Amino acid sequence: MKKLLMLVTSVASIMMALPAAAQFAKPEDAVKYRKASFTVMAAHFSRVGAMASGRAPYDAKAAAENADIAAAMAKLPWAAFTEGSDKGETRAKPEIWKDSAKFKEAADKMQVEMGKLTVAAKAGNVDALKTAFGPAAATCKGCHDNFRKE
Ligand code: ASC
């Protein structure tokens, strides 16, 4: 058991040390991965949004669970904007690679706002949730406007 744990730990640390590109055998795999993480994020984020806007009844536990998942997903897509993954089944704009500092700033901002959303959701108060939801949604929209084709 101890050996297994050591093996798992060392495999995990090797994986974390690998450059992002090494996680994907092909550019299409990176595209699929980032789309999947955005899809899951959007599903859970919009459940929080439904509560924040009153379209769904407020349920503190569900809000916290969904915000947590959205925040976890918000960490994932960025490493999948690998070199060469600007082609194929993607609406990613060339600006992602040309203006990568601006893209990273937008990605970081989203993660910060998603983090604030989870804090608000865990506070168990619908007004805190409403306050945090708007700025988080604005980070989604900001990236769509600047970095996603129609
Ligand atoms: C969502 C979702 C988005 C954002 C965006 C905010 O729920 O899926 O992409 O909010 O619409 O403007």
Q: What is the pLDDT of residues 3-41, one digit of tens each?
A: 777 776 666 665 555 555 568 999 999 999 999 999 999
Least confident of 20-29, 49-58, 90-99: 20-29
What's the confidence (pLDDT) of residue 6?
Answer: 73
Q: Tokens standing for 57?
A: 């009844």
**Phi, psi angles (nearest 5°) of residue 148:** -125, 135
Residue 67 has pLDDT above 60, yes or no: yes
pLDDT (0 to 100) of residue 5: 76
Q: Which of 141, 145, 148, 150 best tests ligand 1's pocket when mutated (most atoms within 8 Å of CB)?
A: 141
pLDDT of amino acid 18: 58
Q: What is the pLDDT of residue 15?
A: 59
Atom of ligand 1 lying closest to residue 137 CA: 6
Amino acid at 12: A
* Contact criterion met (CB below 8 Å) for 76 and 37: yes
Q: Tokens 């915000």 — which residue?
A: 67
Domains detected in the chain: 25-81+95-147 (1.20.120.10)
Q: Are 58 and 108 in contact (CB under 8 A)?
A: no
Residue 74: what pLDDT? 98
What does the alpha-carbon distance between residue 78 and residue 55 come to, in Å, rounded to a whole number? 30
CA torsion angle for 90, 143, 45, 48 (degrees, to 10)?
A: -150
Residue 70, pLDDT > 70, answer yes
Q: What does the pLDDT average to over 94-112?
A: 98
- pTM of the full structure: 0.85
pLDDT of residue 44: 98
pLDDT tens for each residue of 108-150: 999 999 999 999 999 999 999 999 999 999 999 999 999 999 9
Mean pLDDT score of the chain: 93
Instruction: Say if ligand 1 is within 6 A of residue 141 CB.
Output: yes
What is the residue with the minimal CA distance to atom 8 of ligand 1? 42
Which residues, including other chains, have CB under 8 Å from residue 88's CB and lie 6 or more apart?
27, 28, 31
Residue of 111, 81, 77, 106 lying closest to 94 (CA atoms) = 81
